[in-house]
Amino acid sequence: MARSVHFVLRCLATAAALLVTAPAAAQFAALDRMDHGHLIGLQTDFTHEGGSEDMLPRTEIYGTFQFDPHLGFYAQFPFVHMLPAKGESESAMGNLEMGGFFNANLGGAGVVVRLGVGLPTSKLEGGNAQALQRNAWPRLTDYALQLPETTTIRASVSPTASAGAFFFRADVGTDILLDQGERDSQLLLRANVGVGVRIKGVALTGEFVNLGNAQELADDAFAHSLAVSVRHGVLYTGVTTPIDEDRVIWAWTVGLSTEIADDRNSRRRRVRGR
């Protein structure tokens, strides 16, 4: 018993030390995550729709691994739930995305090129389509991962920059939606921008995410969201809200991400925006 208590106390002390001593990384909560180094993370979101008492939690595991100074691969996998005030709850897997990325670092600036595929691991079962659709706002840039029975080819280019305490990232990308049953293939366009600042071990960000259907010009074919986040050590939290929606929607985020030590990458300081 004493050994068990001692082990738990050591774990708590280690976690506290990480939170106190780890510097705040220049990462974003709502933008693309592919960048430099090794990273594993877990993000949980809670979406609240004005006028509704339904609970909409979303959980995502993700990671990146860099096996070369310029090359790496990544994966991310969301899970969504809908807990209605009345009726039965619904849960669903999203689409598993895997791919590779190339990065180039030029002092205080850099660029990340990403190419991946979203596999059709999400299936339509019962009423889970609502759970998938209503949980899209926390990660609007990854909307394609919550389209059931859809294969997606995803590509993006992300310039990054840093100057002193300030850092910046933009994402410009496309999603080609395939295997949608009777529906034709579609092309989605993504354009995101984020800015941040580090203040005494804390990183603050503001983020603007945009998604549109390239084959439609109607207003409802485009979606936009604003997000802010606060990060300290391995923990981060934030809030996202859509723009131009008929009702107020808030998505609250809490996450944990940590970099895996790598001597090759620890020797180089880089801008990171995941």
* pLDDT tens digit sequence for 166-188: 999 999 999 999 966 667 789 99
User: How sure is the predictor about 25, in pLDDT bands with cuts at 50, 70 and 90?
Assistant: low
Q: 3: helix, coil or strand?
A: helix
Look at residue 181 in the predicted model and tell me its pLDDT. Answer: 63
Domain count, the chain: 1
Owning domain of residue 77: 25-266
**Is 41 within the bounds of a domain?**
yes
Residues 6+ apart with CB under 8 A from 75: 62, 63, 96, 97, 98, 99
**Is 34 within the bounds of a domain?**
yes
Q: 265: helix, coil or strand?
A: helix
**Is 64 within the bounds of a domain?**
yes
User: How sure is the predictor about 5, in pLDDT bands with cuts at 50, 70 and 90?
Assistant: very low
Q: 273: helix, coil or strand?
A: coil
- Between 77 and 127, the more confident residue is 77
**Is 259 within the bounds of a domain?**
yes
Which CATH number do you get for residue 132?
A: 2.40.160.40
How high is the mean pLDDT of the chain? 85
**Is 87 within the bounds of a domain?**
yes
**Is 4 within the bounds of a domain?**
no
Provide the token pair at 105.
């670092």
Pairing outcome for strands 235-243 and 222-232: antiparallel
Q: Half-sphere exposure (CA, 13 Å, Cβ side) for 143?
A: 25
For range 101-114, the mean pLDDT: 92
Provide the token pair at 259.
């970099």
d(C-alpha 237, C-alpha 250), whole Å: 13
Burial of 241 (0-12, 13-18, 19+ CB in 10 A): middle
d(C-alpha 208, C-alpha 240), whole Å: 10
- pLDDT score of 96 more than 80: yes
**Is 272 within the bounds of a domain?**
no
For range 23-47, the mean pLDDT: 86
Lowest mean pLDDT among 61-75, 76-90, 193-207, 208-222: 208-222
d(C-alpha 109, C-alpha 104), whole Å: 9
Say if residues 185 and 176 touch (Cβ distance below 8 Å): yes
Look at residue 211 in the predicted model and tell me its pLDDT. Answer: 96
**Is 15 within the bounds of a domain?**
no
pTM attached to this predicted model: 0.84
pLDDT digits (tens, 9 = 90+) for 236-251: 999 999 997 777 999 9
